[in-house]
Copies of this chain bind each other. A is one copy, B any other.
Amino acid sequence: MDLESTTEATQTNGNGEIESFFNLAPPLRNRNGGARRVVCVTSGGTTVPLEQRCVRYIDNFSSGHRGATSTEYFVKAGYAVIFLHRRGTFQPFCRSLPDDPLLECFESIDGSNIKVQDSYSEAVERAIAEHHSAVKKGFLLKLPFTTIFEYLQMLRMIALSTSNLGPNAMFYLAAAVSDFYVPWQSMAEHKIQSASGPLNMQLAQVPKMLPVLRQEWAPKAFLISFKLETDSKILLKKATAALEKYKMDMVVANELLTRKEEVVVVTSSENITVRRDKNEGVDDVEDPLIQLLVGRHSTHINTNSSYVQ
């Protein structure tokens, strides 16, 4: 692995933690007799700096809700999850809590002792217990990123580190990755000055990473990418094009305004609509979505059975 080009952050947070995660993980054979399944869930948006000494950047809207929620269901389904997430976005097991849970859920008694407010006590206790249990048992490894540069280098590192799992590895690429960026060499060194009128910017396209992931980094893994559009008329067409062009196993198509209610899973043979169904007590669209993906992943593993130990 080429470590020379990785950032300091990646080396510190990424490589050592990934290695020790795999070293400490239970042996690959699990209770079902098959090899252990690992999913890399990417979550949140990446940033693109506009200046080398960065004051301004372009960001992609993404709360990380999809990735955090999906991570919970993957853990419940017995997967070991590598949660590659944008710093500050939603965390698994914490989505029912307010933005700033420490200040909003606790109260101070006599100016020193603290206590969870009654209305939050169940949610707070469950969040901490379930999160710590998942980490402790080796079902959850959290790795943070901010820029597109960090994101892509860490993704490559994870893909190469899990390539020995063959078809048992899944990539669930829910992060909102920048399409455009300013190449480092052509970036202004100092803060762009505002005195001289309107600003004209030319942004280059970020090289497409999905073909490299498919062909070089993780050729046998089960790959799921996401397509988000605001215009429903072009969504399915673009999702299908991405499936074929990048040889994904599935593309999850979602529209900005309805993405928490419904998604369409596009495969080479069918389009499957997955809906949240309040009446049947299903809280999240991610619950039936992950059930569907886990089943299809089993099929993927069986049809690549030379890799099952």
Residues of A within 8 A of B (CB): 47, 50-51, 53-61, 87-88, 91, 94, 97, 99-103, 105-108, 111-114, 116, 124-125, 127-129, 131-133, 176, 178-180, 189-191, 194, 197-205, 228-231, 256-257
Contacts and interface: CB of A to CB of B under 8 A. Distances in A.
A55 B101 contact: no
A122 to B, nearest CB: 9
Contacts of A176: 55
A92 B182 CA distance: 35
Contacts of A180: 194, 198-199
Contacts of A256: 53, 55, 191
A201 to B, nearest CB: 5
A108 B132 contact: yes
7 contacts: A56-B60, A88-B99, A102-B124, A103-B131, A111-B129, A114-B116, A201-B201
Given A113-B125, A124-B114, A125-B113, A55 B230 contact: yes
B205 A202 contact: no
B204 A202 contact: no
Contacts of A257: 53
A242 to B, nearest CB: 11
A103 B50 CA distance: 33
A53 B230 contact: yes
A98 to B, nearest CB: 10
Most buried by B among A59, A127, A128: A128
A126 to B, nearest CB: 8
Given A53-B257, A57-B59, 20 more contacts: A47-B59, A50-B58, A56-B59, A56-B61, A57-B58, A58-B58, A59-B59, A101-B102, A103-B132, A112-B125, A114-B128, A190-B229, A190-B230, A194-B205, A198-B202, A198-B203, A198-B204, A199-B202, A199-B203, A201-B203
| Best-buried of A87, A108, A194 by chain B (most CB within 10 Å) | A108
A128 B110 CA distance: 12
Given A103-B91, A116-B114, A203-B199, A54 B59 contact: no
A268 to B, nearest CB: 22
B91 A231 contact: no
Nearest to A208: B194
Given A194-B179, A199-B180, A228 B55 contact: yes
Contact of A107 (B61, B88, B127, B128): B128
Contacts of A199: 180, 202-203, 205
